[in-house]
Amino acid sequence: ALAPRCGWVLPGLEQRLAVPAAVSPATARPYAAAVAKAAKKDAKRSRQEKAKEAAKEKPLPRRRPLMSKPVDDVYLTWLYRRPSYGLEQAVGMLKRFQELDFTHPKQFVYINVFLDMALQKKKKVDPFSSGVALPHRFTDEVNKVLVFTENEQEAEVAREHGAAIVGGVELIKWILEDEIQADFYVAVPAIIPKLIPLRNKLKKKYPSTRRNSLGSDIPRMVQFFRECHEYSVEDESVIKTRIARLDMPTEHIIANLKTIIQDICTFKPSNFDPIVQRLVIRSSTSEGLLLNLDGILPQVEKAEEKEEEDAADEDQQKPVQESVST
């Protein structure tokens, strides 16, 4: 009874039916955002492609080759190669710098050694530390040496030769708790199986034959480690260490430097490139001087080449001798 009669149209209903249904703003928002995001990605990709094409087309800037030697006293250092000096000349320059600057004459002399640690494929020489007996001591400092032994006679010998601490397995607990510390740790072969708990604690200072800290000659080991000069690799490829005092004779400074360099070179096989790539010497108050490596590095390769040449000469002489004898 309440239904409208057939043919009747309510006011405004015809217009509403004629207009298509509009999408609500809440429904349209995700689609619009997705379209805008895709357009933004396309624009960014096109800009990156254009930048790459422009970089390929643009010629690389030509760097001016460095000149070898400046002509004037005042010059731009970045336009010239860094000069390198002979070892004796460089030490003389350091001594001269000290006189001109009126600095302390007994200041230390340092070297920075830049290393090539690469081996075959992706292998490298592990960062290492070592001690070396210098031919000319330049300080009165004495290292603190701990000796592991359970033999009373060996312990007495170690104390007589200057060992700071001597003991057996009872020292393990105190070392693990940092109650006892030393610069170097020496042991006899009989006690080494009992020191395994200290391997991770001492790491590179753990007694071993490679470091000459494991053996039966206690007097020799104690004396060596009390007076030896220790150095280690920093930042994976650099050694920074002092080698002498500036007031020492030039030949003593040179001898100490060559001793340390020769010890460093033993950590890389001679059939690879030399481990020492660059060597800089300086004093406490001077600039660093780049050294010429000729005459400083061990002459291993040249010796091998000479042996090969001698062998080749012998092979060539053999046919001649045979022909003469026939």
Per residue of the chain (326 residues), give pLDDT as tens: 455 555 555 555 555 555 555 555 555 566 666 777 777 777 877 777 777 777 666 665 666 677 777 778 787 877 888 889 999 999 999 999 999 999 999 999 999 999 999 998 889 999 998 999 999 999 999 999 999 999 999 999 999 999 999 999 999 999 999 999 999 999 999 999 999 999 999 998 999 998 899 999 999 999 999 999 999 999 989 999 999 999 999 999 999 999 999 999 999 998 899 999 999 999 999 999 999 999 999 875 444 444 555 555 555 544 444 444 44
Identify which of 181, 226, 216 has the alpha carbon closest to the alpha carbon of residue 202. Answer: 181
- Is the distance from CB of 94 to CB of 290 less than 8 angstroms? no
Q: Do 156 and 104 belong together in one domain?
A: no
Q: Do 167 and 210 belong together in one domain?
A: yes
How many structural domains compose the chain? 2
- Is the distance from CB of 109 to CB of 244 less than 8 angstroms? yes
In sequence order, which residues have a C-beta less than 8 Å from that of residue 247 and are 6 or more positions away? 105, 106
Kindly list the distances between the CA atom of residue 5 and the CA atoms of 1, 2, 9, in Å, as whole numbers in the listed order. 9, 9, 9
pLDDT value for 5 = 53
pLDDT value for 304 = 47
Within a domain: residue 54? Answer: no
Q: Do 175 and 220 belong together in one domain?
A: yes
Q: Do 149 and 288 belong together in one domain?
A: no
Distance CA 242, CA 111 (A): 6
pLDDT value for 169 = 95
Structural element, H or E, at residue 29: helix 25-57
Within a domain: residue 277? Answer: yes
pTM, two decimals, is 0.69
CATH number, domain of 217, equals 3.40.50.790
Kindly list the distances between the CA atom of residue 37 and the CA atoms of 3, 27, 32, 34, in Å, as whole numbers in the listed order. 51, 17, 9, 5
pLDDT value for 113 = 97
Distance CA 233, CA 240 (A): 8
If you count them, how many residues does the chain have?
326
Within a domain: residue 222? Answer: yes
Q: Do 150 and 283 belong together in one domain?
A: no
Q: Do 149 and 220 belong together in one domain?
A: yes
CATH number, domain of 254, equals 3.30.190.20
Q: Do 252 and 219 belong together in one domain?
A: no
Within a domain: residue 76? Answer: no
Within a domain: residue 7? Answer: no
Residue 262 structural domain: 88-116+237-294
Inter-residue long-range contacts of 252-258, CB under 8 Å, 24+ positions, other chains counted: 252/135, 252/136, 253/91, 253/109, 254/87, 254/88, 254/91, 255/135, 255/136, 256/134, 256/135, 256/136, 256/138, 257/87, 257/111, 257/281, 257/296, 258/296
Q: Do 222 and 241 belong together in one domain?
A: no
pLDDT value for 37 = 75
pLDDT value for 43 = 80
Amino acid at 319: P
Within a domain: residue 103? Answer: yes
Q: Please state whether beta strands 229-234 and 129-132 pair in parallel, antiparallel, or not at all (unpaired).
A: antiparallel
Q: Do 284 and 221 belong together in one domain?
A: no
Q: Do 110 and 169 belong together in one domain?
A: no
Q: Do 214 and 149 belong together in one domain?
A: yes
- Is the distance from CB of 292 to CB of 85 less than 8 angstroms? yes
pLDDT value for 38 = 77
Within a domain: residue 57? Answer: no
Q: Do 199 and 258 belong together in one domain?
A: no
Within a domain: residue 218? Answer: yes
Distance CA 170, CA 82 (A): 56
Amino acid at 192: I
